[in-house]
Amino acid sequence: MKSSLTAIKGTKDILPEEVRLWQKTEGICRQVFEVYGYREIRTPIIEPTELFVKGTGETTDIVTKEMYTFTDKGGRSITLRPEYTPSVVRAIIEHRLYLQPSPLRFYYFGPMFRHDRPQKGRYRQFHQVDIEVFGEADPSLDAEILEMADYLLHLLGVTERETLINSVGCPVCRPQYLALLREEAEKIKPLLCEDCQRRVEINPLRVFDCKISSCQELASRLPQIKDYLCADCAFHFETFRHWLDFYGLSYRLEPRLVRGLDYYTRTTFEIICSSLGAQNAILGGGRYDHLMKLYGGPDICGIGFAMGMERLLAVANLKIEKDRWLYIVCLGEKAREQGLRLCRELRHVGISALLEYKEKNLKALLARANKLGATWTIIIGEEEVARGECQVKEMASGVQKPVPLAEVEALMQKLYTSTMKLSELNLAESFRR
């Protein structure tokens, strides 16, 4: 059957088999973040449009072209968040979290929305794993963050990856560089695409974000910020690199890595996987030391990164264990009563169990157990009820044993919480306890 109602272009359903992989990936991220001292924070999907215009930047592609913005019933301009960083900063200011001991470390998982042209690895609704740290200006932290990312990607089995780093300077050195960049960009302006011609006027740094190869080629000959950093920024970058070396992390200097968001200062970085094709960045981030102040909050620096879950899952190498669960089949009314009671008891001690409601013969029920992929089947017939027993069958080996109903919970707990086989269990022994 086909319906004309399908998911919106650039969005996709995550089906139950895939969800397992998402859960495992999220679980590993969560564990690593917690060990590194991060705490989870959750903020709304909708935010005032102004938040992104001001923070992400008026001249960025995200704000000029990609936001899902609408006017709500109260006449307010609302945007489905295209990224997470501005929301975290807003929440910190709103709830005065900056009064807590610093540095503050937060992490987050959730959907983001950008109306870009969909292609492999680029969606209109995608998911980010995000971490942010506030209140620590030391460049050792910049390196610590990349060390954590490296460890996490190692645990997720992402083998072929490359880290790119750059410094985009600060309000002291950037204006001078921007003036020079504009001057040079003006000279090649007629050769640039229409968007870039506009970028030269408004913010020439954005020319480096252009995805058109002829513009990229021309941009590669423009002056690079690394040659115009002030002494403090140069020192910060040097020290950052020193600590990357200390951790034994390899990286490539990429002077054109200005990142497509306006708030960055000093350190920027990306981790790319070439096997992903054109959309090869699995992680992007950097420092944003003035964003909190820009929003009217205290002058507290920040740094963080976000990983795209869809891209991450495309290169992660994780094994998903098969679900282990118990199928209960009952033959007759009395047996069903026993089965329902047992099913409830087992579920309440944490064993995944399902009871079959359809009345069929045993052969058909066992065939169904195999088809459903049950690990064990418990069979309760009238005779078993009379004897106060049930049959436990291990589906993979076909081994089947009679077990007193009063003992089946203990037996199942043993099987469920270990890799022990039914044939390995000395039932008489195990019931003596």
CA torsion sign for 114, 117, 122, 126 is: positive
Q: Give the nearer residue to ligand HAM in terms of CB position, either 128 or 377.
A: 128
Q: Is 306 in the site for ligand HAM (CB under 6 A)?
A: yes
Of all residues in the shown chain, the one whose CB is closest to ligand HAM is 308
Q: Is 304 in the site for ligand HAM (CB under 6 A)?
A: yes
DSSP 8-class letter at 122: B
Q: Shortest approach of ligand HAM to residue 299 CB, angstroms?
A: 18
Residue among 161, 226, 311, 393 that touches ligand HAM (CB under 6 A): 311
Query: How much is the CA Rg of the chain, to the nearest whole Å?
Result: 29
Q: Give the nearer residue to ligand HAM in terms of CB position, either 312 or 411.
A: 312
Residue 74 Cα to chain centre, angstroms: 33
Q: Shortest approach of ligand HAM to residue 358 CB, angstroms?
A: 43
Pair 26, 152: CB distance under 8 Å: no
Give me the helix-helix angle, 139-155 and 231-246, nearest 10°: 40
Say how far apart CA 77 and CA 206 lie, in whole Å: 25
Give the SS3 label for residue 342.
helix
Residue 286 to residues 95, 247, 311, Cα–Cα distance (Å): 24, 18, 19
Q: Which stretch binds ligand HAM (CB under 6 A): 127-135, 192-200, 216-224, 245-253?
A: 127-135
Residues 6+ apart with CB under 8 A from 399: 393, 421, 422, 423
Site string for ligand HAM, 54-93 (x = CB under 6 A): -----------------------------xxx--------
Say how far apart CA 257 and CA 209 lie, in whole Å: 8
Q: Shortest approach of ligand HAM to residue 302 CB, angstroms?
A: 7
Q: Give the nearer residue to ligand HAM in terms of CB position, either 254 or 394.
A: 254
CA angle, corner 170, sides to 164 and 173, nearest 5? 110
Say how far apart CA 287 and CA 116 lie, in whole Å: 25
Residue among 55, 63, 92, 130 that touches ligand HAM (CB under 6 A): 130
* Count of residues interacting with ligand HAM (CB under 6 A): 26
Q: Is 254 in the site for ligand HAM (CB under 6 A)?
A: no
Total count of residues recorded for the chain: 433
Residue among 12, 122, 347, 368 that touches ligand HAM (CB under 6 A): 122
Residue 242 to residues 143, 153, 247, 249, Cα–Cα distance (Å): 9, 22, 9, 10
Q: Shortest approach of ligand HAM to residue 21 CB, angstroms?
A: 16
Binding residues for ligand HAM restricted to 21-50, rule: CB under 6 A: none
Q: Give the nearer residue to ligand HAM in terms of CB position, either 225 or 412.
A: 225
Q: Which stretch binds ligand HAM (CB under 6 A): 167-175, 202-210, 283-291, 412-420?
A: 283-291
Q: Is 132 in the site for ligand HAM (CB under 6 A)?
A: yes
Q: Is 308 in the site for ligand HAM (CB under 6 A)?
A: yes
Give the SS3 label for residue 1.
coil
Q: Give the nearer residue to ligand HAM in terms of CB position, either 64 or 430.
A: 64
For residue 121, count other CB atoms closer than 10 A to its CB.
Answer: 18
Residues that bind ligand HAM (CB under 6 A): 83-85, 114, 116, 121-123, 126, 128, 130, 132, 261, 281-286, 304-308, 310-311
